[in-house]
Structure 1
Amino acid sequence: MVGSAVVEIVKMKKEMMRKIAFGYSTRCNIRCEHCVAADDARKNEKMKLCRAKEIIAELAAAGVRGISFTAGEPLLYLDDIAELVSLCREYEIYTRVVTNSFWAKSADLADSYTLLLKESGLSQLRLSYSRWHQKNVPRHHIVNAAESCQKAGLDYFVSFVTDFSEDDDGYEQYLREQKLLFFPEPVIFSGRAQSFERSALRTDYQENCCSMNPYLAPSLDMYACCDAGSHFTRTNFFHLGNLKDNTIEEMFRKSEGNSLYNHIRSTGITAIASFAGFRAREIVGYRKCELCEKMFNSPELLGALEKEAESGLKSWHR
């Protein structure tokens, strides 16, 4: 009885912490070479607003407490997103919008967007910035958007996407000079960035655990990974199902009950790769998401790891 009670407590905690990346549309008004959310084969898709509202109600019933509106450029549909954010507020769901700031051409225009989002109940605005984004969107848009958030009392941060090369030094310095709140985030070599040249990146030998927040696409497909999971085309390892055939609750439980997923969350990519036979010097040369792709998008290696998920991997990492 004690054991089952503990399991239920853990399950409840997991459900209380449920978060999801919500892809309302794959449409974007710019075409960045590094975009993980798109590749040349993809077509623009968009949910119907009424269906998106139904899904948010289902997410709330499943215990989701955080939604990040992402995928394409969400604010191409400003009124729709504001309506969905307002609905999330009714369900007491924390909301974030990821945007390229195309709309912040002037201080006044930026204010009109942030004020509507703030009044709708948005919790945070995440401003995407990089040497690739800024080929399409002038960097002063980022400043306008950030300053507008500050005036409106809306939480924000700049997501500075980088491959950690010297090419990014000037872009980082600009953020510092403008005194903007920013966090560096690594390029993920998937989507359009799949063809990028990989420069050597040596780091300490880290666990590389991943929280693996799920991603719901406009097609109503749900993936266990919010970053590159939809690009694992050889194995579909992270695909949880589609809302036409499964409920939100069923797909969350599938994600939370998968032994190999849980090893990624707790044991970490590094230990799994070591168990799979990767040399330590190889492991530190890969980015986390790239190492994940090497293992889990290989049908042979994935099959072997799935067989060991309940026994070998558990004994390997204590």
Structure 2
Amino acid sequence: MIHGLAFYYTLRCNATCGHCGVWSSPDRSETMDLGRAEGYLQSLAQLPARPDRAVVFLGGEPLLFLEEICTLIDRATRLGFQTQVSTNGFWASTAERTRATVERLQRAGLTHLALSASPYHTEFVDPANLGRALAAARSTGIIRKLQIITHRAGPAESEVLEQIGLPAEEVQDEVVYQAHRRDPDFDALAHVFVRRTPAAPFGRGAFLNGHVERFPLHEVESIPCYMVRRFPLLYPNGDLYSCCCVAGFYEPYRIGNLDREPLADLERRMESNPVFEAIAKVGPVDLARFSGFEEKTSPGARFSHMCHVCREMMTGTDPAELEEKARGRLLLYQIAGGPEVTVYDELL
């Protein structure tokens, strides 16, 4: 079942970060039509109801289109969805502009604000912007998140937090939020919840050979994927992909186009795909081992994390062969009575 949608509202960005997996830049023009985007929200609302259904707006830099995004946040809120915007904080250049932007987002109904931090971002955005944005979000009652992109040559996290001006005592791992979000005594506004993601060899990140740490397949963390099928992504042209990770921006993950087919039909197509089911239940690393993918790779092949394994397996294996292997792995899974392990059950 679809738990939420990730809207890649635009691929335009004020920055040209070296790690960007989708090649965003000021020169990109791909942007959703606002009317079509509102229709996509309505399509999500027509699916069977579930609690905590969420919509995330990302890109690119979605807040280059502040009023359009606020229109969509307002629409999503009226439909009962939680909302998040992922942004690099370029707009928080002064206290006045920061407060005006955050208050505009709050009036629209935004529930979560996620800010990106890394050495790649600091080339284009002053880290102090993030500190101003986080402070303004707390004062307006918006849940605050920090998405830190790490690499082996990068600064320590304490240095990143110091540049932002974020006290270490406010920082909690995002897992803490997921575990306690429904506890009425948990003060989520008192914390900034951090997700740490390693730089990956996707998009411009493919050229960061000295920054991306890689491991042999047997050393890559093997866990079920909580994104695939649950949190698909929408490209600006209406194409729906089965996973909102940038590794999923490839043809084997494309399900169809929401302008041409109902979301319910695309959801059924995802649910009936044995490869996606196996990735959700046992994980891409497990499936890669079971399918013999390692034997097909070049000697000494290395992977940054399980999403990298997933992309290489999906793009480097015959689809019919991979489906057959996935059915076999699912049969063993069923015989063993293995539960579907969910790391997170919600997108936000």
3-state secondary structure, aligned to 1:178: coil
The alpha carbon displacement at 1:47 in A equals: 1.8
Amino acid at match of 1:36: G
Q: 1:119 aligns with which of 91, 96, 107?
A: 107
Q: Distance in 2 between matches of 1:195 and 1:314?
A: 39
Q: Distance in 2 between matches of 1:38 and 1:205?
A: 26
Q: Distance in 1 between matches of 2:329 and 2:34?
A: 46
Deviations 1:106-144 (A, max 9, x none): 122111111111111111000011110111001100101
Q: Distance in 2 between matches of 1:122 and 1:69?
A: 11
Map 1:1-318 to 2 at 5 A. 14-15=1-2, 18-38=3-23, 43-63=28-48, 65-163=53-151, 165-169=152-156, 171-174=159-162, 178-179=166-167, 181=192, 182-197=194-209, 198-201=212-215, 206-211=221-226, 212=228, 213-232=231-250, 236-277=251-292, 278=294, 286-300=304-318, 302-315=319-332, 318=336
Q: Distance in 1 between matches of 2:197 and 2:57?
A: 18
Match of 1:10 in 2: none
The alpha carbon displacement at 1:228 in A equals: 2.5
The alpha carbon displacement at 1:50 in A equals: 1.6
3-state secondary structure, aligned to 1:311: helix
Q: Distance in 2 between matches of 1:312 and 1:152?
A: 48
CA, structure 1 residues 282+273, in 2 after alignment: closer, same or farther (shift >3 Å)?
Answer: farther
Amino acid at match of 1:237: P
CA contact (8 A) 2:202 2:247 kept: no
CA, structure 1 residues 33+217, in 2 after alignment: closer, same or farther (shift >3 Å)?
Answer: same
Amino acid at match of 1:221: D
Question: Can you give the 5+ residue segments of structure 1 that lack an aligned partner in the other structure?
Answer: 1-13
CA contact (8 A) 2:114 2:145 kept: yes
Q: Distance in 2 between matches of 1:21 and 1:38?
A: 17
CA contact (8 A) 1:36 1:227 kept: no
CA contact (8 A) 1:273 1:283 kept: no
Amino acid at match of 1:88: A
Match of 1:9 in 2: none
Amino acid at match of 2:285: T
Q: TM-score, normalised by structure 2?
A: 0.78
Amino acid at match of 2:15: I
Amino acid at match of 2:270: S
CA contact (8 A) 1:53 1:87 kept: yes
Deviations 1:70-101 (A, max 9, x none): 12111111111111101111100010000010
CA contact (8 A) 2:117 2:160 kept: no
Measured on the aligned residues, the alpha-carbon RMSD in Å equals 2.6
CA, structure 1 residues 204+255, in 2 after alignment: closer, same or farther (shift >3 Å)?
Answer: same
Q: Distance in 1 between matches of 2:38 and 2:124?
A: 32
CA contact (8 A) 1:23 1:217 kept: yes
Amino acid at match of 1:169: A
The alpha carbon displacement at 1:299 in A equals: 3.9
Q: Distance in 2 between matches of 1:71 and 1:131?
A: 19
Q: Distance in 2 between matches of 1:83 and 1:316?
A: 44
CA, structure 1 residues 120+273, in 2 after alignment: closer, same or farther (shift >3 Å)?
Answer: same
3-state secondary structure, aligned to 1:309: helix
Q: Distance in 1 between matches of 2:115 and 2:200?
A: 17
The alpha carbon displacement at 1:204 in A equals: 6.0
3-state secondary structure, aligned to 2:68: helix
Question: Which deviates the most, 87-96 or 49-58?
Answer: 49-58
Amino acid at match of 1:185: T
3-state secondary structure, aligned to 2:149: strand
Q: Distance in 2 between matches of 1:157 and 1:285?
A: 27
Q: TM-score, normalised by structure 1?
A: 0.85
User: RCO higher in 1 or 2 (8 Å CA, sep ≥ 6)?
Assistant: 2
CA, structure 1 residues 237+268, in 2 after alignment: closer, same or farther (shift >3 Å)?
Answer: same
Identity within the alignment, %: 25
